[in-house]
Amino acid sequence: MTTTYDATLGLYIAGEWLSGGGRDTQDVRNPATGAGQAALPLATAADLDAALDAAQRGFVLWRGTAPEARAAVLQKTARLLRERADRIAAIATLEQGKIQAEAKGEVAFAAALLDFHAGEAQRIYGRVLQRPMGTRSLVLHQPVGPVAAFCAWNFPIMNVVRKIAPALAAGCSIIIKPSEETAGSAVEVMRCFQDAGLPGDVAQCVFGVPDMVSRRLLASPVTRKLSFTGSVPVGKHLMKLAADTMMKTTMELGGHGPVLVFDDCDLEKTLDLLVAHKFRNAGQVCIAPTRFHVQEGIYDRFAAGFAERTKAVKMGDGMAADSQMGPMANPRRPEAMEALVEDARGAGARVLAGGTRGSEGGFFFTPTVLADVPLTARAMNEEPFGPVALLHSFASVDDAIAEANRLPFGLAAYCFTENGRRQNMLGDAIEAGMIGINSVRLSAPDSPFGGVKDSGHGSEDGPEGVAAHLVTKSVHMV
């Protein structure tokens, strides 16, 4: 089993890798052991100003670059990611914890996103409006300008690509601040862009004290768009900062995925799908299925089947070939799980599986199933973001829909039923940006990804993700 964290960390500004120079540093830790494994340099105010200057120059250069040349860089970056997949996936597991199969899948998805955006870069069209002979009105879509992007640690490769690819496809430059806790994966992605020939000023990657970095980047008149993936409170805070310069925003925030399981579903198949999906990335997925509302007639069988499958999930170091679920990404998560489980238990929930920290050291929390969780329990209202499944029963379809729409979140929702009329009705009635009907696959490069209500606004991926980096202009000529 490889245990070497083979990443050389640095800031990437104006085509240069920067480290040392008296900058403060932060340890990148291995979640399976808790041990520090590399020192990450943190940006100074002067570094951020240099990144802003570069992004301004990079924007002028890149918006004037032919779409097919932009596409070629994106395609070459995809090729390099695929060639380096094993190494990058090992770095991701060693700093984030997810199992190797998931880390490799993440690299493959990131490469597919780049290929898709290479195509989209060449499909940005405007319109010519019908006007009297000899006159014209045009509708143009132009790149919005330099983007400031901030993204979380849960998909340390894909989250970075999901920010950079649409910006570059649209003709924008970008400054990205990935999570400091998973810096090595982001650095490897940046090296792929660099080696693919992306001009140095077009994309900068910085790390630092998050609040200091976001305040400086968002206060600058250079920045014309904010794109954020992370928690609802931080998202709301950043939007307030962005309001001062009226910049465009894309907010991909948290969720609390309801799963409505009706008594006419294929129960065994549903359980197989849901248990595998629940514990992916130790539950640290914004579209994770979270609260399972099960129709009364099958509730007991569903709970027993869920608990039995959960107990069989093998937890261990993500680098070990037989692990099915790794540790959580940082020490905050098992602490949060412990508090939510204790609260639910106190409110009357039954622990059918797990419910404790792992005994392995590191940041492990056991795959957990809680049954009969009251709607008033904290976990039923706050995003757990961890390997905790919450079970609750319902009687009627109307009750189920009301429960799905009860919380201020609206990211992902799932429904399991063989009734076609009901499938259509649920797809219409549930307030969520993405809905899976007998399916847990909500994400694909060509499909818009994003939420409604407190889960944010604006889509990533699909043509919508590129459109979110464009501004519209009409030109009238007589």
β-pairing, 456-457 with 127-129? unpaired
Annotated catalytic residue 286: yes
Residue 344: CB minimum distance to ligand NAD, A: 16
Window of 63-71, 248-256, 262-270, 304-312 that interacts with ligand NAD by CB under 6 A: 248-256
The catalytic position among 252, 383, 431, 460 is 252
152 binds ligand NAD (CB under 6 A): yes
252 binds ligand NAD (CB under 6 A): yes
150 binds ligand NAD (CB under 6 A): yes
Question: 308 vs 382, which CB is nearer to ligand NAD?
Answer: 382
Residue 122: CB minimum distance to ligand NAD, A: 29
SS3 17: strand
Question: 253 vs 319, which CB is nearer to ligand NAD?
Answer: 253
Question: 259 vs 426, which CB is nearer to ligand NAD?
Answer: 259
CA 465/CA 459 separation, integer angstroms: 5
Question: 155 vs 193, which CB is nearer to ligand NAD?
Answer: 155
**Residue 433 DSSP label:** S
- Give the total of residues touching ligand NAD (CB under 6 A): 20
Residue among 217, 152, 110 nearest 461 (CA): 110
Task: Tell me the per-residue interface mask from 345 to 384 with ligand NAD, x by CB under 6 A, - otherwise.
Answer: --------------------------------------x-
Strand order in the sheet with 16-18: 16-18, 11-13, 203-205, 174-177, 147-150, 225-229, 248-252, 456-457
In contact, 189 and 160? CB cutoff 8 Å: yes
Window of 17-25, 110-118, 228-236, 387-395 that interacts with ligand NAD by CB under 6 A: 228-236
- Tokens 């319109």: give the residue: 127
CA 40/CA 180 separation, integer angstroms: 8
Cα distances (Å, whole numbers) of residue 208 to 41, 174, 287: 8, 16, 27
CA 226/CA 437 separation, integer angstroms: 32
The catalytic position among 151, 205, 286, 415 is 286
Annotated catalytic residue 205: no
In contact, 39 and 194? CB cutoff 8 Å: no
The footprint of ligand NAD on residues 382-401 (CB under 6 A) is: 383, 385
**Residue in 75, 96, 179, 368 binding ligand NAD, rule: CB under 6 A:** 179
